Amino acid sequence: MTKKTTNRNVGNNPTSEYHKLSIQISLNGLSFCVLDTLDNTLLISEQRTFPKELIPFEAQKNLKEILEKYQVAKYTFSEVVVIHRNKLFSFVPKALFDEKELANYLKFNAKILANDLIVYDGIESYDLINVYVPFVNINNYIYDLFGEFEFKHSGTVLVQSLLNQHSNGSKPVCYVQVLEQQMDITVISQKKLLLFNSFDFTTKEDFIYYLLFTMEQLGLDTGTVALKLFGSVEEGDPIYDVCYTYVKNVSIFVPSNLSYHLGGREQESIDFTTLNAL
């Protein structure tokens, strides 16, 4: 499934110091957007959900198709950011982090191979390190197209964005980003990350199981904890309703500091992580 929203062409000038490109890739789908920094307007955005989980090479083929469709490789961007979305990650407090122990941080949470490249992102303002395995073939492909670029894990972008927007209240808040058969749970209290985890789900029953299990593990009271949903969810749909059945304080979360003009798009149609990476 492809969701496309196009405002206008990137421009006639193939070299622009004012355009930024953000790409998010997973084995279940991808999204990308081009931002004009002169007037903070999205020029192009597109999301594609794959009918089944692909291998990295097939995901790269899909990315190549979309970038060729918009002739993106013709342009020189001031900034190119690639976001890797997978479950091969682990957050580590900076005080406990040792660069020599990257594999050990991952091996209890994810199935990794001996030849996997393991890297990490730092969230300096909050003393957090995210250790993860990127898609090496995607990085190589993007480097061949654009040269030097920045890459991050989707969890890094999401957690940093939510921490920045979170009010400094004393009570924990549970944020859940709802995607196509994926959910990201982030729990924050007093500007500190308590948990970030990602799950695949098929039914609303799967969704609520993972949510309630997470809340139970953290000792969160479903009668009082604030649950904020965003992404592919709205009031009255099955996901929202099943959440309200078990968690009383449910609301739709709308980012408070979105400074970009969406060019006539609905905010829900733009991938939160892809946009916040810029």
Domains of the chain, with CATH numbers?
Answer: 2-87+131-160+257-276 (3.30.420.40), 89-130 (no CATH), 167-252 (3.30.420.260)
pLDDT tens per residue across span 151-189: 999 999 999 999 998 877 789 999 999 998 899 999 999
Q: What is the mean pLDDT of residues 228-255?
A: 95
Check residue 119 and give its pLDDT. 98
Report yes or no: 173 and 194 within 8 Å, Cβ to Cβ. no
Percent of the chain with pLDDT over 70: 88
pLDDT tens per residue across span 17-32: 789 999 999 999 999 9
Least confident of 12-16, 104-108, 196-200: 12-16
Query: Of 28-37, 104-113, 238-247, which one has max mean pLDDT?
Result: 238-247
Q: Which of 164, 161, 166, 158 is nearest to 185 (CA)?
A: 158
Q: How many CB atoms lie within 10 A of CB 48?
A: 18
Check residue 278 and give its pLDDT. 62
- pLDDT at 7 > cutoff 50: no
Q: What is the mean pLDDT of residues 66-93?
A: 94
Q: How does the average pLDDT of the chain come out, rounded? A: 89
Helix axis angle, 238-246 to 204-218, nearest 10°? 40
- pLDDT at 3 > cutoff 50: no
Residue 277: pLDDT band (50, 70, 90) is confident
Q: What is the mean pLDDT of residues 221-228?
A: 97
Residue 8: pLDDT band (50, 70, 90) is very low
Q: What is the mean pLDDT of residues 138-145?
A: 97
Check residue 256 and give its pLDDT. 65
Hey, what are 212's tokens? 């309630």
Higher-confidence position of 109 and 68: 68
Residue 258: pLDDT band (50, 70, 90) is low
- pLDDT at 112 > cutoff 70: yes
Residue 141: pLDDT band (50, 70, 90) is very high
66: left (phi over 0), alpha (psi -120 to 50) or beta: alpha
> What's this model's pTM, rounded to 2 decimal places?
0.90
